[in-house]
Amino acid sequence: MALPGFPHPSGVADYDDRRRRERLRATRLGAGWVRLRRTRLMILRLSLIPLVALGAFAEYMGVDVLPEQARLARTEPAVLPIAGPSDAKVSDTAVFDLVGLGVLDAGDTARALPSLATLGSVWAVRYDQTGIDTKVISDLIVKVTEAAKVPNVVLVGHSMGGVIALEIAKHLHVGSAEKVKAVILDCTPVDLDAVRPESRDQGEEMLRWMGWFPGARESRLLRLIVETYARHQDFVGGRYVIRGDEFRQAVRNVLRDKILNTNAASNGLIEAQFKAIVAGGAVDDLRALSKPAAGKPRPAIAFIRPHNPYDDPIVNVEYSHQVLIDQVGGVNGTLLVVTTHTTGHANPIERPQEYNAVIANQIVPFVRQIQLDEIGTVSIGR
C-alpha cells in the first residue's frame, strides 16, 4: 500500500473512482452553467434531433433517391418486335400491345397472345420510367410503321393500358396518315368511376404520398416498405403476430420482383399510369374515334370483360361496358363486347387459352367486317 505523498511501490498510481467522476462532471458540457442549467441542457439535446434527421435525410437522398433518379432519367419509351404476321394478307398491319398499372413492358403479355399475329405483326410498348407521354408513343409508332411501310395499326390495351391505347388511337386517327383499324380493350376503366372503390382509394392514397414525401417517385426504400406491407396477409397471423419465415420470403420476393428488377415499373410510372385514369380523357377519345377523320374510316372497338362482373375485383366492367355502348355502340356502332368465363382482371398471361380463343374466333372476324363496312361507307361519303 502506498503512503500519502509517495508513489505506489509498483509505480502505478492508485485508482480513485471518486476523483474520476468529479473530473467528468467538471469537464462535461454545461458544467459551468448555473442559471437554468437543466432547461438549457434540454434545449441543447432537442436541437440535436433536427441535425440527426437532416443527416438521415441526406443519406436517404444521396444513397437511395438521387442514383435512382439518374437511372430513370436515362429511360425512354420503345416499341419492341414480338412476332411477324401469321398471314401475308395482314402484313400491312402492325399490332401494338400496352400493359396496365405497375407494369413497364408488354413483352410477356404480347407473347402470351399469339392470336394477335392474325391481325398483323405484333409489337410490345415499353413505357418511359419517368412517366407517360402518349404523343411521344404515337410518334414512335408512326416512325416504326412508316419505316416498315405498314399503313394500318391495331392497338391492344390491358386494364389501364386501354386508357393509354385510346389516347394514342386518337392521336393517330386525327393527326397522322396511319389508319387505326381497331382498339382492343381488356377490362379497361374508362374513367375513375369505373375503378372499384377499394382500388380507387389505394390509388388516391398513393398520389397523396407521392406529392407529399420528397423522393417518393424514385425511392426504392419506400417501395420496399409499401410492397411488403401490401403482402402483409402472407406473414401476419392472429393478434398481429409476424411469422418470421413468411416475412423474410415476402421481403425476398419484393426485392427480386420490384426493387432489383430493372423491368419493374418505377413509383413515378405507376403514379403517371393512375393519373391517366384520373384525367378521364377516355370518353373524349372514344368520341373522336366514333367518326371518320381525314378520309379514314372509324376503327373497330372491342371490349373483353368477364361474364360475371365480380370476377374483376379492380374494375367495374359493367360501368365501362355501358359507357362504351353510349359512345361507340348502338345502331351503326363499331363496338363488340366479348364476355369470358374463366378470366379475371386483364390476365392473359394466366388465362391465355380463353383470351386467344376470343381474339381469334370473335374479335378478328369482327374487325375485318367493320373495316369492310367502313371502307364502303367512306367511299359512298366521298
Residues 6+ apart with CB under 8 A from 262: none
Q: How far is CA 322 from CA 169, 228, 355, in A?
A: 20, 37, 22
Q: Give burial (CB, 10 Å; 0-12/13-18/19+) of 83.
A: middle
Give the C-alpha separation, 168 to 280, whole Å: 14
* CB atoms closer than 10 angstroms to residue 375: 13
Per-residue pLDDT, 379? 47
Per-residue pLDDT, 382? 47
Per-residue pLDDT, 275? 83
Per-residue pLDDT, 2? 52
CB 160 within 8 Å of CB 280:
no
Per-residue pLDDT, 222? 82
Q: Where are the alpha helices (DSSP H) in 255-363?
A: 267-279, 282-289, 317-328, 352-358
Please give the grid coordinates belonging to residue 10.
Answer: 509498483
Give the C-alpha separation, 343 to 357, whole Å: 12
- Least Cα distance to 183 among 164, 161, 157, 150 occurs for 157
Go through 277-289 and write b for each residue having 16 or more CB atoms within 10 A of its CB, e for each that does not: beeebbeebbebb
Largest CA distance in the chain: 125
The label of the residue with cell 373483353 reads 304
Q: How far is CA 364 from CA 13, 31, 36, 108, in A?
A: 98, 87, 85, 21
CB 214 within 8 Å of CB 192:
no
Local confidence pLDDT in tens for the 382 residues of the chain:
555 555 555 555 555 677 766 666 666 665 566 566 677 667 767 777 887 888 887 887 788 778 877 877 777 899 999 999 999 999 999 999 999 988 899 999 999 999 999 999 999 999 998 889 999 999 999 999 999 999 999 999 999 999 999 999 999 999 999 999 999 999 999 999 999 998 888 777 777 777 777 877 778 888 888 778 878 888 888 777 888 898 999 999 989 888 888 778 888 888 888 888 888 789 999 999 999 998 899 999 999 999 999 999 999 999 999 999 999 998 889 999 999 999 999 999 999 999 999 999 999 999 999 988 876 665 444 4
* CB atoms closer than 10 angstroms to residue 53: 10
Per-residue pLDDT, 35? 63
